[in-house]
Amino acid sequence: MVARAREGDADALTVLTDAGEALGTAVATLAMILDIELYVVGSSVTKAGDLLLEPARRALIHHAHCSVAQRVRIVRSALEDEGPLLGCAWLARQNAAI
Give the span between the Cα atoms of 59 and 57, in whole angstroms. 5
pTM: 0.84
Identify the three-state secondary structure at position 97: coil
Note whether 53 and 17 are within 8 A (CB): no
Structural domains in the chain, CATH included, are 2-96 (3.30.420.40)
For residue 35, what pLDDT is reported? Answer: 93
Note whether 38 and 31 are within 8 A (CB): no
Side chain identity at 41, as an amino acid letter? V
For residue 97, what pLDDT is reported? Answer: 65
Whole-number average pLDDT of the chain: 93
Q: Which burial class, exposed, middle or buried, applies to 55 when counting CB atoms under 10 A from its CB (0-12, 13-18, 19+)?
A: buried
pLDDT digits (tens, 9 = 90+) for 23-67: 999 999 999 999 999 999 988 888 899 999 999 999 999 999 999
